[in-house]
Structure 1
Amino acid sequence: MSRRIDALDVLRGVAIMGTLGTNIWIFTAPGGALEFLQFGDGGSAVETFLRFLANGKFLGLLTLLFGVGLELQYRSAVRKGMRWPGRYLWRAALLLAEGVLHYILVFEFDVLMGYAITSMLVAYLVGRSERVITAWMVAAGTLLVALVGLATLALTAVPAGGGGGAAPVYPASWLDQVWLRLDNAIVFRMELVFIVPLGTVLFLLGVRLMRAGVFDERGARLRGGLMVAGLGIGVPLNLVTSFAGPTWFMIDRYLVAPLVALGLLAMITSVVLGLRGEPGPLRRGLTNVGRTALSCYVFQNLAASVLCYNWGLGLADRLDGLRPWWVPVAWAGICLLFMGLSTLWLRRFERGPLELAWQWAYQAPWRSRTPERV
């Protein structure tokens, strides 16, 4: 059982670091989120390859793990004889509130809001029959494919770079960035249209994988199949769509990358389950990041903002001539920073700082009663 839990923590740690690998290209662009929305050609072949290594697949992995977490919460409620979804909806509401704050104050492309909305829907499905779960997965998957298809057709009509013109200028001050997010909430949050159906599929898939034993020894055959599909088929397809140009962006990010995420989940789990002895520095670091995943997710975006934006060190403008070479260095530096900080924090506390605050808020309505352990 402990190794299974270790596998989940390591997977969360990898997913958090890989998510930064996707977002770091937005932070380090001089035009920030505005430049990202132009759907440019992605720069040099080197930059395209570096983007390919992370784009979408670790967000897919993180989404699968949210589904696994929902299944664990459901099992806990059933064991305790508690009404479901019951308090879980309050949990999802807190996540939504946190996502809104994260969006407004830190980062345009927050994923917590999408996960919160999705979890409110999937919470009502996790206890249903396999037939109902399958029907919802098919319906959500069909909707996702249709939306991606329409978006891809729309991108074919848009010239690379959004039709040319002057490069977008991202606001220099933090307050102006906040106002930009508030004024353009519909544009920046449009991704929720794709995240919710994709999340529904991957949440429910995570539930099913957990029930099938993918995280323990009895799931070896299942993991093998997932690695063949995700790494043997998904990775070559992902490489093709990454170099196919901006028109293929939606297919690359929302259809192909999640397939790769399944292979990564299976491969990392197999590696962790095969390890013996005491964890080394890398495994301990990834585990600690996984245990403080929420704090590390917010921290990495805040750290990248300080590093790249002009109200901080302004390296996005200063080092634009060194792109893409300095970007992986920035990613590695931030990852090492929050890996070290999470390790130091967990020497004194059981949960991460945001996890502690979130847990306090979660238990607040029932504090006068017997608190629920989670």
Structure 2
Amino acid sequence: MNSASRLHILDLLRGVAIVGTLATNIWIFSNPGSATLMPMDQGQSVVEVLQSVFVNGNFLAMLTILFGVGLYMKYQNSKASEVPWIPFYLLTMFILFIEGLFHFVFIFEYDILMTYAITGAIVAFLVQLKTKTITIWVIVTLSLHTFGILIYYMQTYIAFSDPTLYTAIQQIALETTSLYQFGTYFEQVLYRIENFFLLRSEAFSLIYGSIGLYLIGIRLYLAGAFNMDKKGILIQKKLMFWGFGIGLPLNLLSLVPGGYFEIPVRFLFAPVLTIGYIGLIAWLMNRGALRWIQKQFEVIGRTALSCYVLQSILASLYFYSFGLGFIGVDGILAVVVGVVLISICMLGFAHLTLKTFGVGPLEWLWKTLSKMPFKNRRYSAK
């Protein structure tokens, strides 16, 4: 298989992951306090049920896996250049961290770029290991992640079973929603700055899981899962079989009344179903199905970083007080309309920037700053 075909698959997957991430995060924009409350404390419409089974956590996991693939491709390219791998990639991750920090402070407190930057800085050292050793690291990091989630699971339900703590959590949720519904933009920025470590605690606590998913992306790439040949198709079918066969029943546990499985579904089971999605999307592309739709997702995927930040800007303008203020306005309808409108805007933005500049603005900035210290050396890392 040629590298161009493989890049098409990866762009397609990134585009799907970005739109899926929007469908996940938009619920937080529509009700900022909901991230504090457990799902069992909220009403579940049909749309929310479908989102909790098929969307919540799945596409963030896909994006994480694809960041691992991107890391390995940069590592491959760096070996053919005079650019030293570790200094180069640590610099790219530092720049990504700064972009994520700006995203957090000025737009959205549930930024993932800072987490990816820290994860990438760690995996940059692991990517140089032998394949079998990488597999061992997958097992170790995901085991540690599972252990941490189980502790978090127990602590959460203990806290929610305490009436005093539960009332305090509800109050925090109401105050958070009120801030974004009625507060000024500067009050919201100040809130994110003052509560940086509290708001980032969940993301940084998921580092082990992120490392594991990065390494899974590398293993899938090395195995040929993104190839458009017989071997690639066989792997894609296996991913569908195991991903849907195991992941779907596990994700359906989120339908159990009371929300008792919401935490393990979100943080443990969703990535299993994600593997099935990756296999299905790659298999459909190999078959040439839905070609026009694939092309649109590819366009978004080629500007994934810019579109990720853009969706946060548009969602905040759509829901928050300094924009249209749709928080509390028929939540389900506002969310569905928001996903459609923002997706259309992202697609139009991606088409425009690629046609005009050939690259997304944040992609250009990231690549330019990363290359700057090495501009006198032969450079091939993309």
TM surpasses 0.5: yes
Query: Which of 288, 295, 306 matches 1:284?
Result: 295
Residue of structure 2 equivalent to 1:170 = 179
**After TM superposition, what 4+ stretches of structure 1 lie above 6 angstroms from structure 2?**
none
Question: Is 2:230 the partner of 1:221?
Answer: no
Match of 2:233, as an amino acid? A
Question: Is 2:43 the partner of 1:43?
Answer: yes
- Matched residues in 2 for 1:115 and 1:66: separation? 8
Contact 2:74 2:381 in 1 (8 A): no
Residue of structure 2 equivalent to 1:253 = 266
Question: Is 2:328 the partner of 1:328?
Answer: no
The unaligned stretches of length 5 or more in structure 1 are none
Bigger shift: residues 133-142 or 93-102: 133-142
1:251-303 CA-to-partner distances (Å, cap 9, x unmatched) read 11111001111111111011112118x942x2222111000000000000110
Residue of structure 2 equivalent to 1:152 = 153
Contact 2:302 2:359 in 1 (8 A): yes
The unaligned stretches of length 5 or more in structure 2 are none
Residue of structure 1 equivalent to 2:111 = 110
- Matched residues in 1 for 2:260 and 2:250: separation? 15
Question: Is 2:321 the partner of 1:310?
Answer: yes
Query: Which of 277, 285, 289 matches 1:264?
Result: 277
- Matched residues in 1 for 2:118 and 2:267: separation? 18
The Cα of 1:15 is off from its aligned counterpart by 0.1
1:141-165 CA-to-partner distances (Å, cap 9, x unmatched) read 1111111000110122133896245
Bigger shift: residues 181-190 or 159-168: 159-168
Question: Is 2:208 the partner of 1:197?
Answer: yes
Q: Secondary structure at the match of 1:170?
A: helix
Bigger shift: residues 132-141 or 38-47: 38-47
The Cα of 1:191 is off from its aligned counterpart by 1.5
TM-score (norm 2): 0.90
Query: Which of 213, 218, 224 matches 1:207?
Result: 218
Residue of structure 2 equivalent to 1:24 = 26
Contact 1:118 1:200 in 2 (8 A): yes
1:23-48 CA-to-partner distances (Å, cap 9, x unmatched) read 0000011xx1x331122424224243
1:300-346 CA-to-partner distances (Å, cap 9, x unmatched) read 011000000011110113x1xx2223311211110011111211221
Residue of structure 1 equivalent to 2:305 = 294
Q: Secondary structure at the match of 1:85?
A: helix
Question: Is 2:355 the partner of 1:347?
Answer: yes
Q: Secondary structure at the match of 1:214?
A: coil
- Matched residues in 2 for 1:95 and 1:279: separation? 32
Bigger shift: residues 302-311 or 155-164: 155-164
Whose helix fraction is larger, Structure 1's or Structure 2's? Answer: 2
Contact 1:155 1:247 in 2 (8 A): no
Contact 1:226 1:263 in 2 (8 A): yes
Match of 1:314, as an amino acid? G
Question: Is 2:81 the partner of 1:80?
Answer: yes
- Matched residues in 2 for 1:248 and 1:170: separation? 30
Q: Secondary structure at the match of 1:316?
A: coil
- Matched residues in 1 for 2:13 and 2:152: separation? 31
Would the alpha carbon gap of residues 244 and 57 (structure 1) be closer, same or farther in structure 2, given more than 3 Å must change? farther
Residue of structure 2 equivalent to 1:101 = 102
The Cα of 1:373 is off from its aligned counterpart by 5.2
Contact 1:48 1:243 in 2 (8 A): no
- Matched residues in 2 for 1:369 and 1:178: separation? 40
Residue of structure 2 equivalent to 1:131 = 132
Residue of structure 1 equivalent to 2:121 = 120
Would the alpha carbon gap of residues 302 and 323 (structure 1) be closer, same or farther in structure 2, given more than 3 Å must change? same
- Matched residues in 1 for 2:255 and 2:152: separation? 16
Match of 1:136, as an amino acid? W
Contact 1:47 1:324 in 2 (8 A): yes
Contact 1:292 1:342 in 2 (8 A): yes
- Matched residues in 2 for 1:151 and 1:212: separation? 34
1:100-157 CA-to-partner distances (Å, cap 9, x unmatched) read 1111111111111111101111110111122321232222111111110001101221
What is the percentage of aligned positions where both structures have the same residue? 33
- Matched residues in 2 for 1:177 and 1:242: separation? 34
Contact 1:242 1:252 in 2 (8 A): no
* Aligned length, in residue pairs: 366
Q: Secondary structure at the match of 1:108?
A: coil
The Cα of 1:243 is off from its aligned counterpart by 4.0
1:211-265 CA-to-partner distances (Å, cap 9, x unmatched) read 1110112222221111112112212211212545444332111110011111111
Match of 1:262, as an amino acid? I
1:152-191 CA-to-partner distances (Å, cap 9, x unmatched) read 1012213389624553322421111111111111221112
Bigger shift: residues 303-312 or 162-171: 162-171
Match of 1:5, as an amino acid? L
- Matched residues in 2 for 1:260 and 1:86: separation? 35
- Matched residues in 1 for 2:94 and 2:258: separation? 38
- Matched residues in 2 for 1:18 and 1:327: separation? 13
